[in-house]
Every structure is written in C-alpha cells, then in structure tokens.
C-alpha cells in the first residue's frame, strides 16, 4: 500500500511539474520550449533531412524509389471507350465525368470514332442555375440573421464550377446536350477562376439587396439580376444554341446522317435514358452508419432539382456493383481523394508510392474514418471508372479511371489504382439501377437523414 501511495504521489507531482512547464493559460513557456527543442538534436539523419528539404519538395523527397516500376497495365475487364478529355484550369471534373460516361455509351452504340459532348454548353446553364439557386435561397432565408449558420454558409459559397452527379442529371434532363463542335470551349470556360470571382461578387451584392425586400418584389428583382448574370455568361462562354445542324460520321469516317436538332431532341435521339430515375448514388463514409440513406442540404445545382442523396455502404458492396457494371461494358461516375499517394508521371495511385514516414522519421497511423473525422481526407475529384483487373477468385487487384486532365497526363490520360488505395480513398460511386442488388434497392426506401450543407464530406468535386 505504501508503495502504491508513493507511486501515485510521484505521478501526481510529475503531472503538476509537466503542467507547470506551461503558462497558466496553456501557452508555451520558456521551460516548455526548452523541452520541445529536444525534438531536433542534430543527428546525422536529421541534418540530412533538413539539408535535403531546404532545396527540394516534400513530394520529391518522399518518392518511394522501391515502387518506381510502372504498375501492370493489363485489365481483365475494361469498358470500350475512346479519347481523353481535358478540363484544363476549371473545376468541372464532375461534368466531364458525367458526360464521359454518356460519351462511352454513344461511341459504342453508334460505332463512332472521336466524339465529345460540349462541356461548355452544360457549364453555361450550370452557372445560371446555381446563380438562381443562391438568389432564391437568399430570399427564402431573408428573415434569418445575416450571421446565422445557414446564411453565412450561403454567402461564403454563392457559386463555384465544382459539383456532383445530380448536376449532370438535372441539367441534362432540363437542357439536353450538344456536340462539342457546336459550342466549343472559350478561354473563360477553360480558366474559370476570374469569371467565378466576378459572378460571386455580383451575387453577394444582389444578396444584400434581396434581404431587404418583400417576397414579391424580391422575385421580380431576381429575374432582373439573372438577366444580367446571363449577359455576363454569354460574354464569357458564348451563346448557348437552341437549334443546330450536326452530321454524324462513323468510325471509318463515313457520313451517316445530317439533321437539325434542339439540345433536348439530340439527347433524346441518341441517348434518351432517364438520368434522374435510372441511377443510384452510393458512398463509403465510415464515419456514418452503413445501410442508411443521407441527403445533403443545398448540395444540388438546380433550385427545383435534387439534392445529393446517397446510400452509405461498406466498401465491399460498392466494389460488387462497380465490378458488375464494368463487366457489362458500362462506365461509372467515380470520385475520390485523388491527390493522396499519387505518382503523376506514371499515372498510379498506390499507398506505396510515397514514404513520408522515412523522410520525417514518424508515423501517420490514422485510418479512413479518422482521416474523414479530422478533415484530413474527403472526396475531391470525379473521374470515370472504366476498368478492373480480377484475380482467379474474382477479387479485384487494381482499377483504372479515365481522367479529365488531358491525354498527356498520367497513363495515357488515365490513372491506375491498387485495390488497397481504392479502399482507403474512394468515396462516391453512381451506379445504374440494374447493377444494384435487391437488398440495396430496398434500403433506398428509407427517408433520408438530412445533413447540413457545411458537412466536411460534401465539398464540390473539382
């Protein structure tokens, strides 16, 4: 007993001394700083790291040379598609990805060579609809204090060119699509930051005006505001066509047809599927209960459209649907935390690509759940999932996505990821209902749990 009391007294004294090393408010005292400084003792390894870091990037020095060989590029199952797109300096990965899923279908169905939908056309209406979404939300919340959490979030996020799949489905079902040569890219569509700055400045200005108006007057004024936004968009992106002539050529360059279309008639003739009713959005978010449906407030592109509604699932169930879709030659909308452990020159996503531990002589032990909880990881980029390599037991070894960073990036414009990387950094997948098992479809009958717009997992994919 005496030994126990003595030990307890020593521990208590040590704790008191340790706390006393800080300032009373928890700051760093001179005594505490002296202890902290022992973290660097000037060993040969520490000096070598310090000297190297003074002249080189962390990415360069943490490159794992033991993993420098190119990953095997064979895939047991791959979707038939052709060409690589380039979003350039814009945040439109979500749109490129959605249109690339449809492009793969069109190329395969009609035996086309190169073909691309106009991203600029749908971007135009995306920015117009987002402007309306913001302005109407400001009208809806005009009775709230300007520093309320919801109004503050709206004012911080009036508009961006990032987004997710419901933007693809709602915009196309409302405005249709056009071939890229009908409404090509402009400098502003490829380099969106300055245009976005101008639009956000106008929208915030309009928000202050609308907050002081009654509903009817605010609605009328909103139309005038959107008319000015439309003019700015036309000057930056061009006039979106309402009717156009287009000639189809097959893979051999033979003319198949020349017809006049509207954007909606073009979509209905060549694709025609119900994008709003034919797809299920799933997610692997280990911070929330699996088997539950969630909805994110304001996570939509069109005011009267759909919020992002998803079914949260274990990663094994997500893989099951992805494999079924790829085996049936159907590409998928896929999003992940793309910049983690990437080898950009080889185009690989592999946990062994980067070795921060050896460089800094420390460990980074957080798992996926802990990284999400602490804002260390989240969905940031959308790409088109087009291939999987299965072993003899039908288990995935690696995956491949078609990216939208140009044909010269990565592996011929694609990124190849190990299955281990897929598990750690994949988050969202959009699947056609025919590939979703019955037990998962039944889960979608639940009333979604509404999550706030500021939830950390739901920043726009760019």
Residue of 122, 343, 381, 414 marked active site? 381
Burial class of 63 by CB neighbour count within 10 A (0 to 12, 13 to 18, 19+): middle
Q: 280 with 272: CB under 8 angstroms? A: no
Give the C-alpha separation, 436 to 379, whole Å: 22
Is 74 known to be catalytic?
Answer: no
Tell me the β-bridge partners of 411: 414
Tell me the β-bridge partners of 295: 309, 450
Which pair of tokens denotes residue 255?
A: 């003319």
Give the C-alpha separation, 411 to 402, whole Å: 9
The residue among 124, 101, 427, 451 whose CA lies nearest residue 298 is 451
Q: 133 with 307: CB under 8 angstroms? A: no
Listing DSSP states for 59-73 in one string gives HHHTB-GGG-SPPP-
Is 339 known to be catalytic?
Answer: no
The residue among 160, 266, 155 whose CA lies nearest residue 207 is 155
What Rg value do the Cα atoms of the chain yield, rounded? 26
In this structure, the dihedral spanned by the alpha carbons of residues 51, 54, 58 and 63, taken in order and rounded to 10 degrees, is -40
Q: Check residue 187 and give left, alpha or beta (phi > 0: left; psi -120 to 50: alpha).
A: alpha
Residue of 93, 132, 170, 236 marked active site? 93
Q: 336 with 380: CB under 8 angstroms? A: yes
Residue of 122, 170, 343, 403 marked active site? 403
Listing DSSP states for 354-374 in one string gives B-HHHHHT------HHHHHHT
Q: 293 with 345: CB under 8 angstroms? A: no
Tell me the β-bridge partners of 451: 296
Tell me the β-bridge partners of 396: 390
Cα four-point dihedral sign 32, 34, 36, 38: negative
Q: Check residue 363 and give left, alpha or beta (phi > 0: left; psi -120 to 50: alpha).
A: beta
Is 170 known to be catalytic?
Answer: no
DSSP assignment, residue 163? B
What is the set of active-site residues? Answer: 93, 381, 403
């Amino acid at each position: 007993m005496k030994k126990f009391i003595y030990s307890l007294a020593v521990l208590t004294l040590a704790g008191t001394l340790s706390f006393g090393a800080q300032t009373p408010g928890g700051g760093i005292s001179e005594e505490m700083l002296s202890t902290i400084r022992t973290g660097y003792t000037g060993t040969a390894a520490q000096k070598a790291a310090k000297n190297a870091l003074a002249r080189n990037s962390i990415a360069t020095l943490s490159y794992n040379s033991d993993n420098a060989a190119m990953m095997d590029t064979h895939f047991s199952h791959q979707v038939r598609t052709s060409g690589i797109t380039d979003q350039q300096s814009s945040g439109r990965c979500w749109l490129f990805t959605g249109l690339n899923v449809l492009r793969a279908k069109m190329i395969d169905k009609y035996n086309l060579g190169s073909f691309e939908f106009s991203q600029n056309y749908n971007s135009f209406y995306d920015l117009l609809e987002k402007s309306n979404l913001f302005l109407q939300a400001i009208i809806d919340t005009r009775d709230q204090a300007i520093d309320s959490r919801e109004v503050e979030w709206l004012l911080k996020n009036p508009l961006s060119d990032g987004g997710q799949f419901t933007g693809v489905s709602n915009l196309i079902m409302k405005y249709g699509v056009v071939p890229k040569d009908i409404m090509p890219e402009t400098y502003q569509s490829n380099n969106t930051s300055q245009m976005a700055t101008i639009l956000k400045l106008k929208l915030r200005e309009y928000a202050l005006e609308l907050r002081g108006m009654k509903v009817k007057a605010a609605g009328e004024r909103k139309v005038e505001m959107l008319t000015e936004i439309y003019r700015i968009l036309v000057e930056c992106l061009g006039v979106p066509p309402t009717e156009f002539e287009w000639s189809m050529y097959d893979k051999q360059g033979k003319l198949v047809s020349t017809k006049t279309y509207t954007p909606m008639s073009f979509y209905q003739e060549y694709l025609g599927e119900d994008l709003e009713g034919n797809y299920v959005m799933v997610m692997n978010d280990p911070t929330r209960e699996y088997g539950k449906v969630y909805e994110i407030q304001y996570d939509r592109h069109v005011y009267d459209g759909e919020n992002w509604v998803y079914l949260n699932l274990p990663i094994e169930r997500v893989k099951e649907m992805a494999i079924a879709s790829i085996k049936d030659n159907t590409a998928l909308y896929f999003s992940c935390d793309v910049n983690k452990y990437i080898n950009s020159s080889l185009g690989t996503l592999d946990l062994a690509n980067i070795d921060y531990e050896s460089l800094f002589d420390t460990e980074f032990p957080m798992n996926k759940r802990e990284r999400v909880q602490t804002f260390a990881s989240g969905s940031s980029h959308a790409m088109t999932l087009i291939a999987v390599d299965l072993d003899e037991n039908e288990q995935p070894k690696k995956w491949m996505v078609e990216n939208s960073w140009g044909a010269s990036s990565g592996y011929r414009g694609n990124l190849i990821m190990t299955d281990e990387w897929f598990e750690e950094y994949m988050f969202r997948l959009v699947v056609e209902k025919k590939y979703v098992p019955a037990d998962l479809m039944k889960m979608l009958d639940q009333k979604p749990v509404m999550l706030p717009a500021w939830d950390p997992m739901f920043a726009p994919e760019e």
